[in-house]
Amino acid sequence: MVDLSVKLAKVHLPNPLINASGIYGSDIPDIIKTAEAKTGAVLYKTTTIEERNGNKVPRYWQDELFALNSIGLPNKGYKYLIQITPEVKQKTTKPMITSLLGFSFEEYITLCKAYNDSAVDIIEVNFSCPNIEGKPQAAYNFEYLPKLMKACREAAPDKPLFAKLPAYLDPSQRKMVAKMLIDSKFQGVTLINSLGESLLVNAKTEKTYIRPNNGLAGLTGKAIKPVALGNVWGFYNLLKDSGIQIMGVGGIECGLDVFEFILCGADAVQIGTAYIRQGTAVFEKMENELIQIMNEKGYTSLNDFRGKLKIWGD
């Protein structure tokens, strides 16, 4: 009998599959649709202080390898999601994970305080959205980030906090950020956000595919999976003795991808582009595929193989 359950900071999930932030998590019908699928938890769309319409269209494009998005965080504002969460919890027992992003130090604190007093189960703090024109990512400011992390922790003392971070392509950066996570007492980290400042060109029309930000946008989809796996494995080896957990995200399209992320140290995974392409059925498909892989390998729980990636030659 295979057990897919996992605990994220003592919050029980029936399986490790979660929708990525931004995918069908902005109002009650979408949230319930995701909750009724074979998900372990539901992740809200990233919220800001004020309601936002997002960027101008076209702001999303995809093919079989890539998805390019510059959506720009359209959302109804944090007060709306706080207001509807009790109603959502009457309709489902799935844990609710909120996502938040502030445009200033003070906004992050306001959001963390508000969600700390709400009915959500886990808070994901987005330090890494690449799709806000004129707004730098806090996650690459290594003097500002630790101060902001500690302030968020103090503002939300009662809720588990996960930091959503971008890809770090240098080991020294990962070491610095891992220390920040430990020092600020975050319970977890989500790796990775979309790869910002990416460009795909339509050679036929000689135009960009995306309108905002001069055609530059966040890259997701199958093509970014190796970068995401590298960050999960790199951070796992820095954090495995700290108790800090990892949610892996980036290019996950099948049960084999889920298996690989957990093998590299992820406690749970988030599915974004594949959810857009395949709908809610993608979660049941991934669950069944993961169970099949575990049965073939003789694993009965995720702990049997989490973080146990072998290095070639060992």
- Predicted local confidence at residue 96, as pLDDT: 98
- Predicted local confidence at residue 265, as pLDDT: 98
Q: What residues in the chain have per-residue pLDDT under 50?
A: none
Write down the catalytic residue from 129, 152, 254, 264: 129
The pTM of the full predicted model, rounded to 2 decimals, is: 0.97
What CATH class does 6-48+80-127+142-163+173-191+229-304 carry?
alpha beta
- Predicted local confidence at residue 136, as pLDDT: 80
Q: What is the DSSP string of the chain?
A: --B--EEETTEEESSSEEEPTTSS-SSHHHHHHHHHSS-SBEEPPPB-SS-B--SPSP-EEE-SS-EEE-----B--HHHHHHHHHHHHHH--S-EEEEE--SSHHHHHHHHHHHHTSS-SEEEEE-----STT---GGG-TTHHHHHHHHHHHH-TTS-EEEEE----SHHHHHHHHHHHHHTT-SEEEE---EEEE--EETTTTEES--GGGG-EEEESGGGHHHHHHHHHHHHHHHTTTT-EEEEESS--SHHHHHHHHHTT-SEEEE-HHHHHHTTHHHHHHHHHHHHHHHHHT--BGGGTTT-PPPTT-
Catalytic status, residue 152: no
Q: Domain residues of the chain, as ranges?
A: 6-48+80-127+142-163+173-191+229-304
- Predicted local confidence at residue 282, as pLDDT: 98
Task: Note the pLDDT tens digit of each residue in 159-203.
Answer: 999 999 999 999 999 999 999 999 999 999 999 999 999 999 999
- Predicted local confidence at residue 23, as pLDDT: 87
